[in-house]
Structure 1
């Protein structure tokens, strides 16, 4: 449920270059997330005792960037729901498999989660909101991601290509997507945190 986001979700943060100019100092065009610099974490309260943190390893996102008017940009993001990584240290079970099972994500039936942007709003010098459709567990609902534009490099000193970086957060109610197992002891609200860098599509 958090893979979509992906990010997702992640590309959208990039769009928030400047509140006044609403532009960003890299060329317009199609960008994709750099998988070596992309992370999607999911966080959920566990009995109120702690916040349990996991991640998705399979993330892909495409950003169609309008550098002159970032509000006219668009993002699509896809998360592989079978790429759960819980870093579970015990040997009694595979907790990754449990999260991927029909108890929660049902990755066998719903192998992908997607986020497709519908609008982008600049809210500050380096912040914005991206509204889009999140499809998770066979359900599609509108969600909003808060994004922070980190920086743009034109060109990156190592790759000699443009690069854009951003951070994003989104909180969803998993029960609205039919993922209601253990709701209560394990919170319904799940927060997705995205860190990503975008590079030109090759």
Structure 2
């Protein structure tokens, strides 16, 4: 009985050490350099805007992409690019069969005007590390035909040399920014519908083959 108990304990400790090794996070400075692609199954872009000062209206984009040209020796030299398909907007508007609010927002000339501007683009221009796991990322946001600078607050969530499900080096980030939509020409219903739009981004990036 004692031998069996010892064996069970030994096996449990061995399995525990294996799990800890597989899921152990790696410092992002130790991650390999090069191109990282977005894992779309573990990414989101959500935004919210004030509605009459009574609540925040929340929506998201379902079709987007991003990549990182990563330099672990000088992280501030890394480059980030991203693109969003405005036709992929998703709201929780009720009675969609009677009123396709997603399509209205996407195509209306006073809103996202996707018929004329088929993509929202971001390109980073500067990354400033503000802590071991935080940074300010500045870049240019091209939206509705206008390009203006924006700044994102970025948090590095962690990294794995070998993500256990994909087997690839993977990094995870969260980012937020707030833009004034009227600066890009979307001024419909301001101020009843807020001018400030808060954007919340989550993403995992894996080392591209």
1:52 aligns to 2:28 (yes or no): no
- Tell me which structure has the larger Cα radius of gyration: 2
1:191 aligns to 2:169 (yes or no): no
What is the aligned residue count?
182
**Equivalent residues in 2 for 1:148-167 (5 A)?**
148-167=155-174
**Equivalent residues in 2 for 1:29-178 (5 A)?**
29-91=34-96, 92-100=98-106, 101-178=108-185
SS at structure 2 position matched to 1:68: coil
Runs of 4+ with deviation above 6 angstroms: none
SS at structure 2 position matched to 1:40: strand
Q: Distance in 2 between matches of 1:155 and 1:201?
A: 13
> Which residue in 2 is equivalent to 1:26?
31
Deviations 1:97-124 (A, max 9, x none): 1211212010110010000000000011
Structure with greater helix share of residues: 2
Q: Distance in 1 between matches of 2:167 and 2:206?
A: 11
Normalising by structure 1, we get a TM-score of 0.87
Deviations 1:113-167 (A, max 9, x none): 0000000000112111000000001000011000000000111112211000010
The higher relative CO (CA closer than 8 Å, separation ≥ 6) is in 1
SS at structure 1 position matched to 2:174: strand
Q: Say if 1:42 and 1:191, in contact at 8 Å, map to a contact too.
A: yes
Q: Distance in 2 between matches of 1:168 and 1:87?
A: 23
User: CA RMSD of the aligned region, Å?
Assistant: 1.3
Q: Distance in 1 between matches of 2:167 and 2:42?
A: 16
Q: Say if 1:25 and 1:152, in contact at 8 Å, map to a contact too.
A: no
SS at structure 2 position matched to 1:99: helix
